[in-house]
A and B are shown apart, each in its own frame.
Chain A
């Protein structure tokens, strides 16, 4: 049976084309959009870091949620727009949310180590959140490097952490996204960055941005997407917010950077349980609370194999692993993260008792 294929070429809509090229022109010429956060209150400040409290729209759970974002990026990706806000959606779901913003270190913070970040900053902020909420327990939710810090904290602290959620978390550094020979060169010390770190003292944000860009290779996808979907104002708005966040990187303390490269990337001390934090030897085996590990299918920065080992290392009896259809950043950008976490978390959070 013969079959013929008809190709239907739709006529270009003048309206669509005008909207598309107008949007592109705006992106190129207008200032970046202003990000308006969900109503919040700063309850504790230390150095450049801030602990924010986002009260629940209608409080449903007694157990508050503590979000920890990466040290290498600004956390407003979790609250980037009204519709796609992870924090906004969580507060609408009835959670009292606390978020820790690490801040951008200056030259005076050049000697802050990862130990200090965990014990003097993160642990203290969780204590403040617990005190502020008057809750008996708290759920710790860490994303990317924030997840690594949360996992370290959970393994050494005596704080009442009820649930631990780790999303796109790099823990096992036996392999990472660099080509094989580069991974080997870093691990055997052929390629080191100690001298560079000592020279800069604080790794400049531009340097980190350049590293991120280099890791992504030819990253023309976002620009192509802007052209192809430029006629859709909602998409353009989201694109502009994402673009702003991408280029708004932070600096990093030199001491912490050196420690990270040596103890994580080179010696892989996290999964070996050899890292000493605040005089205590960290061991993921000390984690006994409920654990949820989330990885995304299209994550090009953190490999699934970097997150998975924790499932076998913890002592938790209640542990869940979830693979979500998303990218490393898009899971937060779309607010999808809140919906990925809620079903698991809601059944493990203490529900408010009616008065």
Chain B
């Protein structure tokens, strides 16, 4: 049985390098983990800081003698621009708040107008409905009045008829009397 393996120079090179890198880093990690080195670093950092401070102080001193602007002067001017920018930002925020407040008020106003319009429409509809009802009622009343007028005529006719009946009765009585009187006259002659 044979196992065929492909050996690429670069792959092997990378693997070995990775191995070395990891080994060296582990070694370095352990090697630097000591108090002496930390103390030495502190001394170095402090010395370097003092050196930079002195360098800057001297630089400022020379620049002031020659009346030259330094990077610090430029930075101070630039700081004013940043402050102005901050103020613009604050203003922008206030404008936004106002815009939002206006938008909210406008929205409320819109809602209010909408409600008023809806109420108006409702009133209009109610009015039309009432008017329709009223006209129906008026019509009905009119009919009733007409009917009432007819009834009045009948009453008058009845009264007339009653009058006529009375007249008829009267005529009947007169006729009766007339009939009796000739008979009386005849007997006397």
Contact = CB atoms under 8 A, between A and B. Distances in A.
A30 B11 CA distance: 27
Interface in B27-50: 28-30, 32-35, 38, 41-42, 45-46, 48-50
B25 interface: yes
A134 B2 CA distance: 68
A120 B93 CA distance: 12
Contacts of B93: 127
B18 A196 contact: no
B3 A3 contact: yes
Contacts of B18: 221, 224
A131 B42 CA distance: 49
A195 B45 contact: yes
B2 A5 contact: yes
Contacts of A9: 6-7
A179 B48 contact: no
| Residue among B5, B41, B82 with max Cβ neighbours from chain A (10 Å) | B82
The interface residues of chain B, by DSSP majority, are classed as: helix
A6 B5 contact: yes
A217 B89 contact: no
A155 B130 CA distance: 62
**Size band of the interface chain A makes with B:** 35 or more
A28 interface: no
Contact of A120 (B56, B75, B86): B86
Interface stretch (A68-76, A102-110, A330-338): A102-110
Contacts of B32: 179, 182
B1 A228 contact: no
Contacts of B17: 220-221, 224
A195 B5 contact: no
A110 B75 contact: yes
A6 B7 contact: no
Given A46-B85, A227-B13, A228-B13, A3 B2 contact: yes
Contact of A218 (B25, B45, B86): B25
A218 B6 CA distance: 29
Contacts of B4: 5-6, 8
Contacts of B56: 199
A193 interface: yes
A7 B5 contact: yes
Interface of A: 1-10, 12, 46-47, 106-110, 120, 124, 127, 131, 179-182, 185, 190-193, 195-196, 198-200, 217-221, 224-225, 227-228
Report, nearest first, the 5 A-B pairs whose CB atoms are least far apart: A179-B33, A108-B78, A107-B75, A108-B75, A199-B52
19 contacts: A8-B4, A47-B82, A47-B85, A107-B72, A108-B74, A109-B82, A131-B96, A185-B35, A191-B45, A195-B46, A195-B49, A196-B45, A200-B52, A218-B25, A219-B21, A220-B21, A221-B18, A224-B21, A228-B13
